Structure 1
Amino acid sequence: MRPSREKGFAYQSVYRYLNLLINESATNGSVRLPSLRQLADRLNVSISTIQYAYSLLEKEGRVYSVAKSGYYAQSAPTLMSPGSASDLLEAVYVNARRIGMCVLSADDPTSLQPLDSPLLMLERELLRQYPRQPPLQVQPSGELELRTALAARYTTSALNSWQAEDVYIGADLRGVLEILIFALQLRGATVLIESPCDWMILRLFQAAEVQVIELPLQADGGLDPQRLASLLATERVGLIMLSSVLNMPRGSFVPHANRQVIAQLLLRYGTWVLENDSCSELADAPDAQRFREWLDPDRLLIFSAFDKIIGAEAPYGFVLSRQWRSELQRHFLLRSFRLSCARQKAIARLIANGRVDQHLQILRRLLKERRTQLIQLLRERLGDTVQIVEPQGGATVWLNSVRPVDMNEVFYCLLRQQVVIAPGELFSLNGDYAHHLRLSPICHSEHDLAGVVGQVGDALRLAPDG
């Protein structure tokens, strides 16, 4: 009998071995992999260990089984090379979903610490209490209990108060923003947007043929009051979209004095404001003053979502507005979102019992630790190669290459090394921020972050001038 090395080998080693085997045999077609018994003999482990490793790979979509035939490698999609994708954003999305990639392009705070488990446990408890929901209780604008909880959460004074009928809940943030575009009749209208801006919002406005004018943030994170005043005086501005607290992807605050000046300008011109509140809860200073506290609440709309603070099991987006009631109600009814009443009730109770706030305290601390670690590595490995905007919250870090480089070349260079970054030009419709990039310290999986930062530094140093 041969000596057993089962304990020293373990299924993790078998898993890594199979990964290498799959990568080496990667072709356009399917490749048959060794049988359970062949691998057990080759690696000197039990068949059950091999079977467990195969099952993990099967769940990941790397292999599939055929009855009475065995396991086959699932052919992986090839890397997108320059010119093979219709645009850069598509290349980022596709490659970020490939197995084995080190993803530094994402902005997914709750992947670090989700609140999914308490949410689902509470939902199951509610389903036992309310096993059947009569059809007459279906509400197109969202579950009343959740709308009431949100109205209370956003009320800060008698002037800045909200009612449940001011709150509208949709399946996700994108669906809610699409409704706003239709309800506010923004197609063809001029909208001012703080820049850089989230790419999903930019592409949504672009697809709806909204005339977007970008307002670049200054070095201190504020807006240029003179430029804004000129635009308000000369353009027929239908709406301005501003961050409530944190501008993302910069992760910076608007200085207090600048915020007051901007708010006074908007009040003077009677401009409608769409406040982006998506990342406010992730600010290091949770009690930071919101932009809405300086604005006319009757000319204000606020939008946000739950996924960045709770997790993927709470994808719902929502908007608050005192005006446009008939238009919003009509469009939400036409869209007919099919939302889980129990899930919405569960979210409402997590908010009401303080569980969300407790969770956010932990999440903010963990995010700051990860950002601090990434920034320290960037300073050690990249030195004066980049300028870092010191983030005041969120899950990402915004960088500017000191030397003007071709960031597309940097992107594809890192892609060949299985690293995905978010080039800065994604955050502008004008092609601005060509020498910027956004990095996340969260979704690098099992990759060594220090080594990956070194790869980013090498790619920036070797990139041609841009």
Structure 2
Amino acid sequence: MNLRGERQADFAYQAVYRYMINLINEVSREAPVKLPSLRQLATRLNVSISTIQYAYSLLEKEGRVYSVAKSGYFAWPVAATMPIMAGTDLLERLYTAARRPAMVVLSNDEPALLGSLDGALLALERQLVRRYPHHLQPSQPCGVWELRAALAARYTASPTHCWQADEVYIGADLQGVLEILVDALDLKGTVVVVESPCDYLVLRLLQAAGVRVIEWPWRADGRPDLTTLEHLLRHEPVHLVLLSSVVSMPSGNAMTDPERLHVARLLDQHGCWLLENDTFGDLSFAPPGSPLRSLVNPERLIVFSSFEKVLGPEAPFGYLLARQMSNELQRQFLLRSFRLSAIRQRAIARLYE
């Protein structure tokens, strides 16, 4: 089957999406069924692996499929009620239930799902296709320069806390970017302090990589326990501290400016790296104070985030900013060989501008 000649007005991922919907509708109604791998579908449909991956990400957002590490994608049975896997971990059950079709979870952290920007992105892409013909687009494994420059400008706060486009790296999704970061920092066997509760995706990734995770809980009054953090940094061989930039999700807690400054001083005193999670940085109702990244040593700072929380599933790319380890990060991105849509990246850059 060749999708390149089908409905030229559509993008390739839309044709793949329709094909996958038809395929899923044919599966058993009693048990989940394993779907073809990315490579198998790319060969079968004569499209790129990134196109297949993007279609799968849309289906996963809609709750039609789910992924299992090292096993691939599976389709949920086409039934009115989805099995909730009684007896499994509570967080796994909650995550599974939240991915059901048409499910909107109270206090969900994905408001972008309620207001899609797909139309705006497609309109920009149609304009850009005429300006950037496909055959003239060189391969850029770390992301197109326009989007990297837009992100560098967005995160620049002062002459000392500034970023260049070469210090921004864009990957297919947030999980892929974080996996690269774990390898680049060589975190296996190290000690990492994370705020609690921590993003479940990040926590599972660190635990799977053999990282010793120490959780730093907030106090009952919603304030950070700085005494406990200081004790951990003093008595444990902490290599890296993972904190939110502005608001800690899902608890919704936020540090005051003096508390952030105290944390920045502790990190500098003990020579620890700060890994800042800026996934929810744009979702604050009140004007945020100075983020942690503006207070710590920029030479020991890494920021990661994604476009998905703000722009929705049409922009699944993840990204990170780092001044150090440029050679290792470039090597890791080259090894991953992310095949990202250059036109969609440029459209996102236009939205940011």
TM-score (norm: length of structure 1): 0.57
Tell me the equivalent position of 1:79. Answer: 83
Query: How far has the Cα of 1:116 moved from its partner?
Result: 2.4
In the alignment, structure 2 segments of 5+ residues that lack a partner are: 1-28, 32-61, 65-76
Which amino acid in structure 2 is aligned with residue 104 of structure 1? Answer: L
Residue 161 of structure 2 contacts residue 298 of structure 2 at CA under 8 Å; is this kept in 1? Answer: yes
- Sort the Cα spacing of 1:75 and 1:149 in 2 relative to 1 into closer, same or farther, 3 A: closer
Paired residues of 1:92 and 1:105 also in contact (CA < 8 A): no
- SS of aligned partner of 1:241: strand
Aligned counterparts of 1:100 and 1:340: Cα–Cα separation in 2: 27
| Partner SS for 2:188 | coil
Give distance in 1, aligned partners of 2:150 and 2:92.
37
Listed as ranges, the gaps of 5+ residues in structure 1 are 1-26, 30-58, 62-72, 353-466
Write the distance in 1 (CA, Å) between the matches of 2:327 and 2:279.
25
**Aligned twin of 2:235:** 234
1:113-124 superposed matches below 5 A: 113-124=115-126
Q: Is residue 128–residue 343 contact of structure 2 (8 Å, CA) maintained in 1?
A: yes
Q: Which aligned pairs between 1:36-435 and structure 2 lie closer than 5 A?
A: 74-76=78-80, 78-80=82-84, 82-83=86-87, 86-99=88-101, 103-104=105-106, 106-134=108-136, 137-352=138-353
Larger radius of gyration: 1
The alignment yields a C-alpha RMSD, in angstroms, of 2.4
Contact 2:256 2:289 in 1 (8 A): no
Contact 1:114 1:309 in 2 (8 A): no
Question: What secondary structure does 1:91 align onto?
Answer: helix
Distance apart, 1:185 and its partner CA: 0.3
- In structure 2, C-alpha distance between the alignment counterparts of 1:275 and 1:99, rounded to whole Å: 32
CA distance in 2, matches of 1:185, 1:104: 37
Conserved 8 A contact 1:170-1:176: yes
Contact 2:223 2:253 in 1 (8 A): no
Cα deviation, 1:299-350, whole Å, max 9, x if unaligned, reads: 1000111011111111111000000111111111111111000000111111
SS of 2:282's partner is helix
User: d(CA) in 2 for partners of 1:93 and 1:266?
Assistant: 33
SS in 1 for 2:169: strand
Shift of 1:105: 7.0
Q: Secondary structure at the match of 2:308?
A: coil
Aligned-pair distance for 1:76? 4.1
Is the 1:245–1:288 Cα contact (8 Å) retained in structure 2?
yes
Cα pair 1:96 1:105 within 8 Å, conserved: no
Counterpart Cα distance in 2 of 1:188 and 1:195: 20
TM-score (norm 2): 0.75
Letter aligned with residue 263 of structure 1: A
Distance 1:161 1:74, change over 3 A: closer
Distance 1:28 1:292 in 2: 49
Q: Which runs of 4+ in 1 moved over 4 A?
A: 99-102
Aligned length: 283
Shift of 1:261: 1.3
After superposition, the Cα gap between the structure-2 partners of 1:230 and 1:301, relative to the gap in structure 1 and judged at 3 Å, is same
Note the C-alpha offset of 1:294: 1.1
- Going from structure 1 to structure 2, the CA distance change for 1:94 and 1:228 (only over 3 Å counts) comes to closer
1:18 aligned residue:
none
State the one-letter code of the partner of 2:261. Answer: Q
Q: Could you tell me how far apart the structure 1 residues matched to 2:304 and 2:165 are?
A: 15
Partner letter of residue 173 of structure 2?
D
TM superposition shift of 1:109: 1.3
Letter in 2 for 1:231: L
| 8 A contact 1:280–1:286 mirrored in 2 | no
Is the 1:192–1:240 Cα contact (8 Å) retained in structure 2?
Answer: yes
SS class of match (1:194): strand
Distance in 1 between residues matched to 2:348 and 2:30, nearest whole Å: 45
